[in-house]
Structure 1
Amino acid sequence: KGIDEPTAYAIQDKLVAKLEQSLQTHTVGYKIACTSQVAQDLLNTDRPAYGRLFDAWHYPSGVTLNAAAYTMRVIEPEFAFTLSQDVPPSTYDGPYDAESIRPYVANVLPSIEIVHHRLAGWDRFNVRKLIADNAIHGGWVSGTPTADWERFDLENHEVKLYSNDQLVLTGYGHRVLEHPLNALAWLANNLPLYGRQLKAGEMVTTGVCMDVYTAEAGETIRADFGTLGEVVIHFV
C-alpha cells in the first residue's frame, strides 16, 4: 500500500539497523538519489532522497566484485565529498546553498555507486519504496580524495565511463542538481527534518552525473574523472 515520505524513512531506519547488525558494520555517511532530471522523471518526483552508506560496502578503486551478489548492477559515477566538520542545522541565514556549504567540505572523491535492490515487485517501484529500501544502495567504490578541490570547476567537470576500455557514457557535474554542492546543501537542509545532521568525517555521494549503465560479469568498469582521478571495478 502507499506510504508517505516520513514512513518510508522510518522503514529505512529499521532496514539500516538490520543491515548494520547482519553485516557487522556501521554507517559512514549518506548517498543522495534522484539528483538528476532522468532519475526524477523515472520516479515521478521533483526532489532528491537519501540513504545510508556502510563501511562494509565501501571498496577501494580496483576492487573485484562478484556480479551475482547484486540483483542489478546499475553503475552510477558520482562526485563524493568528505565533511571537514559537523554541519549544524541551518539558521536564520536561511537554508544552505552551494556557497554556504563549501566550508564544510574536506575533500572530493571520484566514486561509483552500485545500485541494488531488495524489493519484490520492481514493476511497482516508486520513490517512497526507493527511500524505504535505503535508496537502493548496494555499495560504492572510491578513488583518491582531492583536498584542494576548490580549484576545480565541478559544475562543468567531465566524467567518462568505460566498459572494457570502450567509452559508453559521458557526464558532467551540472547533471547533479546543476552542481554537486547543491546536492550536499539539500542533504544538509533536509536531514534535520528527521533528527539528523551531517558529521565531521562522514562521506556523501551526490548522485549520478550521467545516464545510468548496467554492468555484467566479465566487465571492467572505469569512471575517468580526469584531473580528479579514476575509479575501477572488475565484475566476475
Structure 2
Amino acid sequence: MAISAAREAVLQQAADHLLTARRTATPIHSLPEAVAPTTEEESFAIQDILALAYAPIGGWKVGAQSPEGVPFFCPLPAAWMGANGAVFRGMTHRLRGIEAEIAFRVGTALPPRATPYTREEVIVAMDGAYPAIEVLESSYVNPLAMPREHMLADLAIHGGFVAGPRIPDWQEIDWSQEHVVVTTDGVVRIENTGSNPGGTDLVRLLVYLANEGSTRTGGLKAGDWITTGSWTGVTWTSEGTEVVARFNNAGAVSLQFERTTH
C-alpha cells in the first residue's frame, strides 16, 4: 500500500528526530508515537530520507532473519566507510558495537531492468568478496530494546564499515563451515561457525538486492559495497579498543576506536 503524502510528511519528522540525535550525539529514548513507523514500508521510507541527508551512498546492508526469510536492506553512507585498520573518531561513536561480516563489492553495474538478473549474472558482476566489520551506532539510547520497525528506520543501527583484503576463490568456500573469531585488544570475545542468521547462501541476498531491491536502490552501481549479515551478533566495545575479525578461509579485517582525552 502506498504511503500517503500526509503520512510522508509525518515520517519526515521521524527522520528529523533521528538525524538530530545522531549529529549531536544526543540519543533519544524513542520516537514520538505520532511519528514512529508502524510498518517495514514506513521504516524504509524513513531510511530513504536519511539516505538523502547522508549522501553519497557507498553501498547497502542486506540481511534476513532466517535462511528462508525475506531479506531487508538499508543504505550505507560513503562517509562512514574506512580502510582496513581505520581509526574511528568523533563524538558520534558512542556505542561502538561491531559485527563480523562478509561483504561484496560490485564490479559491474546492475541497473534496474524488466527481466530479473540470474544468480550467475549477479556473481559475475561482483569484483569479489571481502571480510568486513560493521560498526553499530544508533539514535536511540538502547537500540536493541526498540521495536524492529524503529531499528530499521535508524538505518538498521548502522554506523560504519571497513573491509579487509579480497578473498581468493571465494566461490570455493563452504560458508556453512566457515569459522570466525572476534578479538578486542587481543582477547577473544566470540567465535562462531556458519552462523549468519540469514543463512550461508550469501548470493541469495545479493540476487534479492539486485532484483526486488532495485526499486529502492536505483540499481547496484560499480564500486558499491554490500554487507550480508552478522556472523557474530553484536559485540560492544569501548574507546581505544582494537577490533580484529578473523575468518579461517576468508581472511582478517580490523579497526580501532579512538581513545579520547579528557
Q: For this structure pair, what is the TM-score category when the shorter chain's length is used for normalisation?
A: 0.7 to 0.9
Matched, 1:190 2:212: yes
Matched, 1:77 2:100: yes
Matched, 1:128 2:149: yes
Matched, 1:105 2:129: no
Q: Distance in 1 between matches of 2:154 and 2:165?
A: 29
Aligned to 1:206: 228
* Structure 2 CA distance for partners of 1:123 and 1:103, relative to 1, 3 Å: closer
* Structure 2 CA distance for partners of 1:100 and 1:170, relative to 1, 3 Å: farther
Aligned to 2:15: none
Superposition pairs of residues 18-167 of structure 1, within 5 angstroms: 18-20=53-55, 26-33=56-63, 35-37=64-66, 46-66=69-89, 68-89=91-112, 101-119=122-140, 122=143, 125-146=146-167, 148-167=169-188
Q: Which moved more, 1:119-128 or 1:138-147?
A: 119-128
Q: Which moved more, 1:188-197 or 1:210-219?
A: 188-197
Unpaired runs of at least 5, structure 2: 1-35
Cα deviation, residue 82, structure 1: 0.9
CA contact (8 A) 2:47 2:155 kept: yes
TM normalised by structure 2 equals: 0.73
Cα deviation, residue 95, structure 1: 7.4
Match of 1:211, SS state, is coil
Q: Distance in 1 between matches of 2:77 and 2:114?
A: 30
CA contact (8 A) 2:37 2:43 kept: no
* Structure 2 CA distance for partners of 1:158 and 1:67, relative to 1, 3 Å: farther
Match of 1:140, SS state, is strand
Aligned to 2:24: none
TM normalised by structure 1 equals: 0.80
Q: Distance in 1 between matches of 2:141 and 2:246?
A: 34
CA contact (8 A) 1:159 1:172 kept: yes
| Structure number with larger C-alpha Rg | 2
Identical-pair percentage: 26
Deviating 4+ runs (over 6 angstroms) = none
Amino acid at match of 1:199: K
* Structure 2 CA distance for partners of 1:157 and 1:67, relative to 1, 3 Å: farther
Cα deviation, residue 152, structure 1: 2.5
Match of 1:150, SS state, is helix
Unpaired runs of at least 5, structure 1: 21-25, 41-45
Aligned to 1:23: none
CA contact (8 A) 2:111 2:218 kept: no
* Structure 2 CA distance for partners of 1:101 and 1:64, relative to 1, 3 Å: same
Aligned to 1:12: 47
CA contact (8 A) 2:135 2:159 kept: yes
